Structure 1
């Protein structure tokens, strides 16, 4: 028995010894070799000190020891004679690997940057915090950085290792970065949550979301509680009950007035060069104006990469490409472009999008067999961006940005008369937004920096509608020209105190034009508004609290009017796990959209931008407050927040009423109040979430009867669930669904559906928004697979299905007079997108 026990202990000891072989500093090993073999190593201490290896075996010859050192270190050992051995940097490259972790709980940091200083070599960490770089210079400096954390520089010799023994690099939280990251993986990889409540989407590290095959910015943010699209359109994103025009959309500081391709179904912003997207619902910084509902701030890569990288990709709608081109050590070009190929050939996905976009317009999406009409349509969209990055030196940086977004539709109808004559009607619709901006960033000291930003933005919708029977040509245009200058100064008195001061000037001009040939008619309206603003705010950070308090003073030249807007954002940690949040803000908006149902753009685009005139169209103003709590325990996030928002100065014309208020002019307000709940659990290989929003959204128009009634986008209950799961390291799946209350609508008066006024007959609507559509429900799914062909080339394949169950959702309902019996009405239902699969193939290099 003792013999077996002894053998058992011996085996255990041998296993333990084999599993616990420790590395020793190279400098100690060299001292041991010197004593054993009576030799002397000649080396520079800075080359040897960072390196640790396993000790060579004791029974080796000296030459075998030198061979071992050459094979297991990034250095070159050469024996000069029996006495001396020289040690120098090897004329070779090495491979390094490691895991980047947080210091607090050693959680992996996804998307951390790993770059070799003064070279074009770099990468980012994956969801496990892992990185790998091959063929890098010996004795180079490796820079590690991540938003909200201190940078770290480590010699490459220290990271020289085999894949099964990679180093662990731990980054400290940077308290000086006051907007530090609270959650590094929120809902999916590449989505982060900041201490000031903003949500950040990191496009490069973005994972999967249900139904999506691209990191579509405006689709992705709809996963967040309180943000949704009432009619599933990108052009109609509703944040806490607000309309789409109440969202401030910025692209590298340029104010954008257009958000969607395909007239709302696809985001107009190519994500490949969009590095970060910051979404704010409340508690906005005082440097931002407009957008009484939210701020969506998109920023492209702003640092020199010094490495030629890029990618090409295509899906069933469009193809795209992007490049990052280093020209010199301090000069770089970033370009991207995307274009649909729908004018060349049409896919199943395109047909579904086309039918969804144009179902309630002058464009015929379905043709009855009895009609002697043939139709052709030619639709295409494109967008492209360009950026010049120039560093005069480490303290002064200059950036120039350009973006253009375009949608073009040409639609032709050919009809055959009884006399076999062919009549042709061709209509055109063009919608685009162009922007150019420049930035000068200056770091005058380690504590004080400034930023000067200037931009020009132009938005146009132009339409030509030709009536072949009357030989009438209707031409329409809506144009917005916005120029702005903004200056920020940032002073850090210490690591926990920041003071922002700034000035902003905007000039906005908006034109609306309508021209008819027969009978001759011409109408044009053009307004210009100039706005000056001064703002100031402080940020304080302590161990338990984050406070940002500020104010913005606006002056409108045309109205000689001042508006003061306070802003507040507080987060207080009661314990290490639980925090309370208080947010509040006052905001204004002078440019809004109105709906024009009788004089729209081919029935496709019904909205027009207009400027406030302080009589029939006042400046919209909002007051918003929210309070809640958040629990963060390792990979578990639970948050609950109540909110109250009042927006006054809205008009009946910019709400899009489908009832008796449709053509009336009145000024009113809406009040939204509710609760948002989110449960999010993440692990290394999965993420699951459940969100629920309860909200009551009501109008108040003193001139209407009744004066208080449900908002057009009053969605009382909204539930979103989702699951992302990594089946393998390179195979991922995402499944999710949405269930929400149907939108309000107005029915005609039963038994008295129409009313006649003179020679015209109108729908006689009942109490406004008293009825609700059936509940909206949709299930989406995505799968992604990636393979690394070489160390620098990767292929990514994604497949997604929107509306997996092919649910028939009605997103809008209204009524029109029956032309065959004017005493009755016809119900018109706008339906959601049908089941739509899509594929995406992308090559990154």
Structure 2
């Protein structure tokens, strides 16, 4: 009975004696063998025949159908089968359109012949056309690069397989506009981006100075008003990484910190990272400031020149050809020719409580002084495109400050004089090559050098003594970066960096003779990999990477993971999470407060992995960003810890000044910004809370407040911009920085020795300053633009104390309080002409 039923079912399944529609036959074959047929309805219309046996293979069934009909069957990889009439075989063009990215078929691609005959691909990516004399085919589809091919006679019997390359357009990161001022925006990766050429105005600023501007950002301060002492979330200035066109800069300020060395009229983009920086940035445990003068689009020839009450500058860009241009900028102080009120305020602020002013304070009669001070900086850029895929860029920068002070006095018929020379300079060069291999892969290689020198020489006639001090840094590097576009939303970057830093410190004294010269070199190899996912539709941005450093001298590996995550909860509310681990092998220390005349007293050194450890940091922050109806609210909470700091790097002027030990600092806090824009008026209010403590386990007081702690900081600004007129008024208020008071109850006049209370047991007075600035721009009939700017720092002329320490007076044997104050009321005027 079992075999009987099987036989009956088999007879019914074959249905050998009955013809069925051809379309039903191929549908059954598709189901049984998992293939797809491509055909035109005209070729199979009305066709009926007996179906082939189910037990036959796919090719056997196709042979059977070919014998029974006037059709040809083309099997492509047992996946697609093309059906066409035998008599039209030589007159047709057929093909499949596939994506190069995933080899999937492309539906609805447009196929066009030279005679304008058109068709589109079906759901299987198939198309079919009749040949003509010129068989040039244009294939196009949205999201893919169009392709033009010629179908030759050799391809007449087989269908084409045409691969289309995706047209990659990287989704632009979402940026908020006009945060703090026009020209400042926030990226999806948490960084702030400044476009100097689009910069509006900020209180006290008439030029888009990068380092002055960043001090308006919550969490960024300078306790002594210097761009050479910028503190980000409790870090020291040397813990920040400053990069100009791929060159690490060791000098950041002119006039010993009151003016940025980066020409504000040159930069195109300034990126500032407080946390979550890319894995391609190393040698920093605090923030990253990356300055680029490379334009994102081609620009025409340009020329501009300007002057203010401190310096004059000139800038020019000239297109040598369609593929090359040269760019030159230069800036020089005008103090060689005139002493303006601005220069006087700057000079008095910088040189207070230094050996130079100490000399004048101790003079009795016939005191004379001759001062010469000047600075300059210059840059050169040459860019050359080579073919359609390569670009070569050369960047050069030179920076120099020079001070000469001759002082003399006659005391009791004895002539006493000093000749002081102080020089600070930084040279840099970078050669970069970029190649776009295709739409998916790009390679960048750059080789750079940065050389820094701080030199001081003091000659005294009374004791015929000559003191020479020198700090030199030579930094060489090689960077390789590859960018791989996996899809329009996903990008992978990888690379390698080699860094060599050599630092020399020299001290030489004549009468008595003393000589010490120390040179240290560190070489580091870094391997980097990171991936970025950016989906503007789902409002998800995620970037994660890691940097693996290998330090040759210590045979030590350090792994530094980085992460940035941003999610748009809705179109108005955004959540951001940033985290990073970083390390740093070089730092600045102070051996003696009177080094380099007490003006630029910090010197660069490298780690020895023992008494001077490698500094390592970890940081995490959570940010909530809301923007709607011209309102903006930004709240960020953070935690940061830096290990491996030394007491000599923190600028102590108390009982820890000569103590040499290592430890860490730990800071946590909140940064808040609320902003409202109304037509031409923009106003904002920011608040920062920082709780920052040192931890020195081997010291008698293992924990106490950080020297750079500003527990509360409040800033406000009101900005009006209409047409070519801009004005900004603002104020900054902060609680005083910590200081250490002496314990006068233990002071003994017979044996005058300073005895201190617990380190940083109290605070300076509150810091408060009101600033204003305004600019006006107009254009003459010949196309020349003019710009006039006016600013006043500290309008109310408030006497703000920025540091305080104590010493024993040699005249009275009593405790003497030494105070340093911020700038008094300081005006500035600028004028600029642009072509």
Q: 2:741 aligns with which of 743, 747, 760?
A: 747
2:658: which partner in 1?
663
1:786: which partner in 2?
777
1:673 pairs with 2:668 = yes
TM-score, normalising length from structure 2?
0.78
1:716 pairs with 2:706 = no
1:225 pairs with 2:215 = no
DSSP 3-state at the match of 1:220: helix
Structure-to-structure mapping, 1:200-219, within 5 angstroms: 200-219=193-212
Work out the CA distance in 2 between the residues paired with 1:274 and 1:647: 31
Work out the CA distance in 2 between the residues paired with 1:637 and 1:178: 24
Preserved CA contact (<8 Å) 1:259 1:267:
yes
Work out the CA distance in 2 between the residues paired with 1:396 and 1:623: 38
Structure-to-structure mapping, 1:176-575, within 5 angstroms: 176-177=169-170, 180-302=173-295, 305=298, 307-364=300-357, 370-419=364-413, 422-542=415-535, 543-575=538-570
For residues 178 and 830 of structure 1, do their structure 2 counterparts lie closer, same or farther at Cα, with a shift above 3 Å needed? farther
2:601: which partner in 1?
606
1:832: which partner in 2?
822
DSSP 3-state at the match of 1:263: helix
2:792: which partner in 1?
801
DSSP 3-state at the match of 1:751: helix
1:37: which partner in 2?
none
Work out the CA distance in 2 between the residues paired with 1:322 and 1:738: 33
For residues 423 and 190 of structure 1, do their structure 2 counterparts lie closer, same or farther at Cα, with a shift above 3 Å needed? same
Work out the CA distance in 2 between the residues paired with 1:491 and 1:790: 49
Q: 1:821 aligns with which of 801, 804, 812?
A: 812
Work out the CA distance in 2 between the residues paired with 1:342 and 1:370: 29
Q: 2:754 aligns with which of 763, 783, 799?
A: 763
For residues 613 and 570 of structure 1, do their structure 2 counterparts lie closer, same or farther at Cα, with a shift above 3 Å needed? same
For residues 240 and 375 of structure 1, do their structure 2 counterparts lie closer, same or farther at Cα, with a shift above 3 Å needed? same
Deviation at 1:537, TM superposition (A): 0.6
1:581 pairs with 2:572 = no
Deviates more, 1:326-335 or 1:677-686: 677-686
Work out the CA distance in 2 between the residues paired with 1:604 and 1:282: 31
Structure-to-structure mapping, 1:81-100, within 5 angstroms: none
Deviation at 1:193, TM superposition (A): 1.1
Deviation at 1:176, TM superposition (A): 4.6
Preserved CA contact (<8 Å) 2:744 2:755:
no
TM-score, normalising length from structure 1?
0.77
Q: 1:774 aligns with which of 765, 783, 786?
A: 765
For residues 625 and 176 of structure 1, do their structure 2 counterparts lie closer, same or farther at Cα, with a shift above 3 Å needed? farther
Work out the CA distance in 2 between the residues paired with 1:641 and 1:293: 16
**C-alpha deviations, 1:35-70, integer Å up to 9, x for none?**
xxxxxxxxxxxxxxxxxxxxxxxxxxxxxxxxxxxx
Deviation at 1:189, TM superposition (A): 1.2
Work out the CA distance in 2 between the residues paired with 1:416 and 1:368: 11
Work out the CA distance in 2 between the residues paired with 1:654 and 1:201: 30
Gaps of 5+ in 2: 1-142, 144-166
For residues 286 and 773 of structure 1, do their structure 2 counterparts lie closer, same or farther at Cα, with a shift above 3 Å needed? same
For residues 489 and 754 of structure 1, do their structure 2 counterparts lie closer, same or farther at Cα, with a shift above 3 Å needed? farther
Deviation at 1:327, TM superposition (A): 1.4
Work out the CA distance in 2 between the residues paired with 1:231 and 1:837: 18
Deviation at 1:187, TM superposition (A): 1.3
Work out the CA distance in 1 between the residues paired with 2:740 and 2:410: 39
Work out the CA distance in 2 between the residues paired with 1:175 and 1:442: 16
Work out the CA distance in 2 between the residues paired with 1:526 and 1:674: 39
Preserved CA contact (<8 Å) 1:509 1:527:
yes
Work out the CA distance in 2 between the residues paired with 1:376 and 1:364: 13
Deviation at 1:184, TM superposition (A): 2.4
Deviation at 1:349, TM superposition (A): 0.5
Q: 1:810 aligns with which of 788, 801, 808?
A: 801
Preserved CA contact (<8 Å) 2:168 2:440:
no
Deviation at 1:578, TM superposition (A): 0.6
Work out the CA distance in 1 between the residues paired with 2:263 and 2:505: 29
Work out the CA distance in 2 between the residues paired with 1:447 and 1:574: 31
Deviates more, 1:245-254 or 1:188-197: 188-197
DSSP 3-state at the match of 1:821: coil
DSSP 3-state at the match of 2:175: strand
For residues 377 and 180 of structure 1, do their structure 2 counterparts lie closer, same or farther at Cα, with a shift above 3 Å needed? same
Work out the CA distance in 1 between the residues paired with 2:750 and 2:522: 41
Preserved CA contact (<8 Å) 1:304 1:389:
no
1:595 pairs with 2:590 = yes
1:643: which partner in 2?
638
DSSP 3-state at the match of 1:183: coil
Work out the CA distance in 2 between the residues paired with 1:521 and 1:220: 44
DSSP 3-state at the match of 1:702: coil
Deviates more, 1:360-369 or 1:628-637: 360-369
Deviates more, 1:240-249 or 1:630-639: 630-639
Gaps of 5+ in 1: 1-149, 151-173
Structure-to-structure mapping, 1:612-623, within 5 angstroms: 612-623=607-618
**C-alpha deviations, 1:446-478, integer Å up to 9, x for none?**
111010011000000001011111101001100
For residues 367 and 767 of structure 1, do their structure 2 counterparts lie closer, same or farther at Cα, with a shift above 3 Å needed? closer
Deviation at 1:344, TM superposition (A): 1.7
DSSP 3-state at the match of 1:210: coil
Work out the CA distance in 2 between the residues paired with 1:642 and 1:335: 42
Work out the CA distance in 1 between the residues paired with 2:349 and 2:170: 45
1:707: which partner in 2?
702
Deviates more, 1:538-547 or 1:377-386: 538-547
Work out the CA distance in 1 between the residues paired with 2:244 and 2:753: 44
For residues 301 and 683 of structure 1, do their structure 2 counterparts lie closer, same or farther at Cα, with a shift above 3 Å needed? farther
Work out the CA distance in 2 between the residues paired with 1:753 and 1:195: 57
1:71: which partner in 2?
none
DSSP 3-state at the match of 2:343: helix
DSSP 3-state at the match of 1:338: strand
Work out the CA distance in 2 between the residues paired with 1:370 and 1:838: 35
Deviation at 1:598, TM superposition (A): 5.0
Work out the CA distance in 2 between the residues paired with 1:657 and 1:422: 35
DSSP 3-state at the match of 2:651: coil
1:52: which partner in 2?
none
Deviation at 1:317, TM superposition (A): 0.7
Preserved CA contact (<8 Å) 1:594 1:607:
yes
Work out the CA distance in 2 between the residues paired with 1:572 and 1:448: 27
DSSP 3-state at the match of 1:491: strand
Higher Rg of the two aligned structures: 2
Query: What is the count of residue pairs matched by the alignment?
Result: 667
Deviation at 1:773, TM superposition (A): 0.4
